[in-house]
Amino acid sequence: MEKRHVISTAQFFDRPILEKLFAVARQMEEQVVRHQVEPVLSGRFMASLFYEPSTRTRFSFEAAMQHLGGSVISTEAAGQFSSMIKGETLEDSIRVTAGYVDAIVLRHPETGAAERAAAVSDVPIINAGDGNGEHPTQALLDIYTIQAECGRIDGLKVALVGDILNSRTIHSLLFLLGLCSDIEVLLISPKQLRLPDKYKQYLDEKHMPYQEFDRLDCLDESIDVMYMTRVQKERFKSVEEYEKLKAYFVVGKSVLSQLKAEARILDPLPRVGTILEEVDSDARAAYFRQARNGLYVRMALLREILKQP
Ligand code: CP
């Protein structure tokens, strides 16, 4: 992975790379817990350039870099506080920033922005979410969490729930599930927010059986992972349409009662009312552990991309 851009999970991740990343992430977790992280990225710099809001991705990347002894330069609300406001193109901002750092973590509202950035960057671009395209590092921490929580990433029945049309985390996760065997997928969304055809074609190519539903009553004890997502307000042209759909699915104790004791509920967060707080104390609620894993997986990723020869 050294010196590679991270744009899409479809791009270059394969099973051995995943397993290597899992092993390094576990090592990172042990080092963080013991407060004994090796400062292997001392003297290296990372820029976080976020044109869209973030809590988890930006903080966990910045914490990851600093745990490893590296330094961070950062702009939140880059669409407001970077030179974009003066008319600078994304490409020029990347060309310039690449002269100051060893890697750029980019979040942008336009699908394809990370690819455009990579085309002009002398340093690795890490896609931290591009519009409703992909969010590859979130998917890596999701699959790591599935491995940690379920003890395997093969032979799983996975329910993907919510705004499947716009969820870049689901798009990226599907490509990683494609590296696993014996996966069955339930796509549960309002009819207006169904998975785009290109991802369904991928499921077909990988011979991954899937079914589409628009209600949560299809959930039963055969489900291993329920992956919940919010309806993405920022992708809607009409506020009225968003208001109609925002609470289409709400997960509370009644939904929990449909799932087996070993099932796990994941959510990339924020949850904005889609999972009630009454669920949080249930052992199946894995979403805060999942967010924590973001630190370890991003430490592993930065270490692998930026390690010295
Ligand atoms: N999961 C995720 O991308 O969260 P943030 O938007 O807070 O980074």
The reply to whether 191 belongs to the active site is no
The reply to whether 86 belongs to the active site is yes
72: tokens are 């961070």
Alpha-carbon span 287 to 280, nearest angstrom: 9
For residue 246, name the pLDDT band (cuts at 50, 70, 90).
confident
The reply to whether 111 belongs to the active site is no
Q: Is 229 in the pocket of ligand 1 (CB under 6 A)?
A: no
pLDDT digits (tens, 9 = 90+) for 119-155: 999 999 999 999 999 999 999 999 999 999 999 999 9
pLDDT at 36 over 70: yes
This prediction has a pTM of 0.95
Residue 207: its pLDDT value, please?
95
Residue 12: its pLDDT value, please?
67
Q: Is 54 in the pocket of ligand 1 (CB under 6 A)?
A: yes
Overall residue count recorded for the chain in this entry: 309
Question: H-type helices in 38-123, by residue range?
Answer: 56-67, 78-81, 90-97, 113-120
pLDDT at 196 over 90: yes
Q: In sequence order, which residues have a C-beta less than 8 Å from that of residue 204 and are 6 or more positions away?
A: none
Question: Which residue out of 138, 144, 234, 271 has the highest number of ligand 1 atoms within 8 Å of its CB and is therefore the one to mutate?
Answer: 138
- Please identify which of the residues 5, 9, 57, 116 carries the catalytic annotation: 57
What is the whole-number distance in angstroms between the Cα of residue 55 and the centre of ligand 1? 6
- Please identify which of the residues 44, 58, 67, 135 carries the catalytic annotation: 135
- By mean pLDDT, which of 3-12, 95-104, 185-194 is the weakest? 3-12
For residue 2, name the pLDDT band (cuts at 50, 70, 90).
low
The reply to whether 56 belongs to the active site is yes
Closest among 215, 232, 120 to 170, alpha carbons compared: 232
Residue 1: its pLDDT value, please?
58
Q: Is 97 in the pocket of ligand 1 (CB under 6 A)?
A: no
For residue 76, name the pLDDT band (cuts at 50, 70, 90).
confident
Give the residue-averaged pLDDT of 166-190: 97
What is the whole-number distance in angstroms between the Cα of residue 54 and the centre of ligand 1? 5
- Please identify which of the residues 56, 58, 230, 303 carries the catalytic annotation: 56
Residue 87: its pLDDT value, please?
85
pLDDT at 180 over 80: yes
What is the whole-number distance in angstroms between the Cα of residue 288 and the centre of ligand 1? 12
pLDDT digits (tens, 9 = 90+) for 253-306: 999 999 999 999 999 999 988 999 999 999 999 999 999 999 999 999 999 999
Alpha-carbon span 250 to 286, nearest angstrom: 17
Mean pLDDT of all residues belonging to the chain: 94
pLDDT digits (tens, 9 = 90+) for 205-230: 999 999 999 999 999 999 999 999 99
Give the residue-averaged pLDDT of 225-247: 89
Give the strand pairing for 264-266 and 184-188. unpaired
Residue 232: its pLDDT value, please?
84
Count the alpha carbons within 13 Å of 13 in the hemisphere toward its beta carbon. 27
Ligand 1 atom closest to the Cα of residue 107 is 8
Q: Where are the beta strands (DSSP E) in the chain?
A: 45-50, 71-75, 103-108, 125-130, 157-161, 184-188, 210-213, 225-228, 264-266
The three-state secondary structure class of 39 is coil
The reply to whether 57 belongs to the active site is yes
What is the whole-number distance in angstroms between the Cα of residue 309 and the centre of ligand 1? 32
Q: Is 167 in the pocket of ligand 1 (CB under 6 A)?
A: no
